[in-house]
Each structure stands twice: as structure tokens, then as C-alpha cells.
A and B are shown apart, each in its own frame.
Chain A
Amino acid sequence: MINNLYLYCIAEGHVEINFGNIGINGQEVYSIVYEDLSAIVHDLIVEQEKVEGENLNECAMKHAQVVDVAWKKFGTILPLTFYTVIKGEEGIEPAQNLKNWMQDDYKNLKQKLAKVKGRAEYAIKIFLSTKTIGTLLIQNDPEIRMLHATIARSPKGLAYMYKQKLENLLKKKIEVEAEQYFNDFYKRVTGCVNAIKIEATKTVDSDKQMLMNLSCLVQKKDIIILGKELDVISNINGIVVRFTGPWAPYSFV
């Protein structure tokens, strides 16, 4: 059995600390320091710990909790990706391997810490109800209204053809609306954040489309301003905003 180190995050500051048994599977979490950096870890014996099945969810939650505790204590941290394990080798302790890496990567780590200092990550997902936008277009768009009226007074066969034409036109118009919304919302959000990443959108359901999926790095003082901008966006008919955080800056490290 080889001892390894499970690494949660790299924190700014030279602080030797033991957080107690707050880690994954109740492991003891402590810091390993190099210069003015502290790595937050727990000892891991690979053969003993299994991260699989039902246990996974709990492990992920624990990982996030430890990162949050360290974040609160140190103020500025770089979270590691889930399940980063530093190995030990013949004659080299894992702690030494970790310190060597911190030494080699010191400049890079310091630059990243400076970038996220005093900032936190927030997730913004904006959804568009195609049903609501479609209904509004039917009510207000002259071209669509005209086609709609034509269907009403056309014989059955012709009406079917016009209906298909209407569906295509409506789809196109919804796409144009969505693009305009995207540009407008993006401008509003970028105005109050330090950095932004456009993430891939996901399928929600047939009536609701994810219009934007953003990760934003935000200064604490700007959260209220961002919240106000999101209020403006969410007040638009057919638009739903989901705003979560603060998260450790996973997307900006």
C-alpha cells in the first residue's frame, strides 16, 4: 500500500493548519506549505478508498465543502479538479513531490492567484421559452399576423401549406429574436464582470431553450450591480434567469 495525497486546492499564504476530519471519507485535512503557498490535502491510501457508485455524489460534495472551508480561511485559492492525487514513489514522499511541483510551478500559481484575488465565480444560465416568444410574435409581428389571417380564410389543403410556411417563418423569427437577446444580455453581463466564459448550452425541454450558459469571474462589490442587470433581463416576458454562486474560481484557473 502506497500513501498518496489527495489535493483539494492551493491557497495563498504560509499557514500550517489542520482542519480536522472534514475530508472525503472523514479524512483529516491539513496544509503542506511551500514559501507563501499552502496546499490543502488529505492522506490517501488508494487501496483503501474507493470512489464509486453511490459514494461518488457524497465525495464530490465533501470535496466542494473542503474547498469552501479553505477558501474562507485563506481568502484566495485555486481549486484543483476533482480527484487530483499526488503519488509517492520509491524514496520520495508524496509531500516532497507536491512541494517540488509547487516550486516548479510557483510563478504560474502566483499569477493565477493574483487573477482571482478578491473575486468569485458565478454561473448564469438564461433560458428562453420558445412558446411565449412564439405567442408574442404571432400577436405582434405583421408578417406572421398576415400569414395567420390567410390560414384562417383558406381552404383546408391550402391552409396546411400556409401553416407549414408559418411554422418555418416563426422558427426563423424566434432564432433572430434569440440572437438579439443573446447580444443584448451578453453586453449587459460583461459590463459588470472581470472575466467571462461562454459555456456550451444544454438541451432543457422542447418548450424551453438554454440561450446562454456563462461562467463569470466577479469582484465582490459588483455582485449587486450584476444582480440588478439580471433583474432587468428576467423581467422580459419569456426569459428565465438562473444565477448561482459564489463558486471557487474553477473556470478561471
Chain B
Amino acid sequence: MKPMKDRHATLVDLLDRMLDKGVVINADIIISIAGVPLIGVNLRAALASMETMVKYGVMQAWDEKIREDANKAELKKTEMLSS
């Protein structure tokens, strides 16, 4: 088995590391910007909502809608050609 490192497929593994780990400087030379510690939280929330959307079929509905529209367009084209 070989390890995977595709950027998109392994995004969660990468974020788990970057946001919670790595060297942390415990000194007053670090800037504290309002909201910066929330970056991790926001990023996770964005990812989680994407996963939930996929899980509960939001993407599926969207995909079906696109297909339906495409089919309608195709049908219209055929009708126009045959008339």
C-alpha cells in the first residue's frame, strides 16, 4: 500500500495537522487578531457543511436538476429539428 497525497482527497488530514498542530510560539511576539483563532473553526464548519450537503443529497438534487435541464434542452432541440 502506498500513501496518498492528492491535495483535495486528503484535505481533512492536512487541515487536522495545520490547524491543531505544528510549532506554537508561546511568547508575546505573536500577534492576536480578533477572529484569527476562529479560522480553524470556520474552516471546519465550511467543510462539515459541504459533507453534510453531499450526505443529505443536496448535491444530488442539484445534479438531478442540471440533468433535467439538459434533457429538456436536448428534447427541444430534437423537436425543432424534426419540425
Chain A interface (Cβ < 8 Å from any Cβ of B): 4, 7, 10, 46, 51-53, 56-57, 60-61, 63-64, 78-87, 94, 97-98, 100-101, 104, 112, 121-123, 199, 215, 223, 227-228, 230-231, 234, 241-248, 250-251, 253
Which residue of A is nearest B42, CB measured?
A56
* Known A56-B42, A243-B2, A243-B3; 5 more pairs at CB < 8 Å: A82-B40, A83-B36, A199-B16, A227-B1, A244-B4
Given known pairs A84-B30, A85-B30, the reply for A61 and B21 (CB within 8 Å) is no
**Most chain A CB atoms below 10 A, which of B24, B25, B31, B35:** B31
B65 to chain A, nearest CB (A): 23
Contacts of B24 in A (CB 8 A): 80-81, 84
Query: Chain B interface (Cβ within 8 Å of chain A)?
Result: 1-5, 7, 10, 13-25, 27, 29-31, 33, 35-36, 39-40, 42-43, 46
Give Cα distance in the complex from A112 to B21, angstroms: 14
CB pair A46–B3 under 8 Å, yes or no, is: no
Q: Chain A's interface: helix, strand, loop or mixed, by majority?
A: mixed
Chain A to chain B contacts (Cβ below 8 Å), 20 pairs? A52-B39, A56-B39, A56-B46, A63-B18, A80-B25, A81-B18, A82-B19, A82-B22, A84-B23, A84-B25, A98-B29, A121-B17, A123-B16, A123-B17, A215-B17, A243-B3, A246-B3, A247-B17, A248-B17, A253-B22
Q: Is the CB of A101 within 8 A of B29?
A: yes
Q: Cβ of B18 and Cβ of A250 under 8 Å apart?
A: yes
Shortest Cβ distance from B33 into chain A, in angstroms?
Answer: 6
Please name the residue on chain B nearest to A224 by beta carbon. B2
Question: Could you tell me the distance between the alpha carbons of A84 and B23 in the complex, rounded to whole angstroms?
Answer: 9
Cross-chain contact of B21 among A81, A85, A230, A234 (Cβ < 8 A): A81
* Nearest CB of chain B from residue A21's CB, rounded to whole Å: 20
B18:A122 contact, CB within 8 angstroms: no
Q: List B contacts of A61 (CB < 8 A).
A: 7
Q: Is the pair A82, B39 in contact by a Cβ cutoff of 8 Å? A: yes
Q: Nearest 9 pairs between A and B by C-beta?
A: A250-B17, A81-B22, A250-B21, A87-B31, A85-B31, A97-B29, A82-B18, A230-B1, A227-B1
Q: How far is the CA of A98 from the CA of B22 in the complex (A)?
A: 17
Q: A46-B33, A85-B31, A244-B5 are in contact. Are A78 and B23 (CB under 8 A)?
A: yes
Please tell me which one of the listed residues A78, A98, A228, A247 contacts residue B13 in the complex, with CB atoms under 8 A apart.
A247
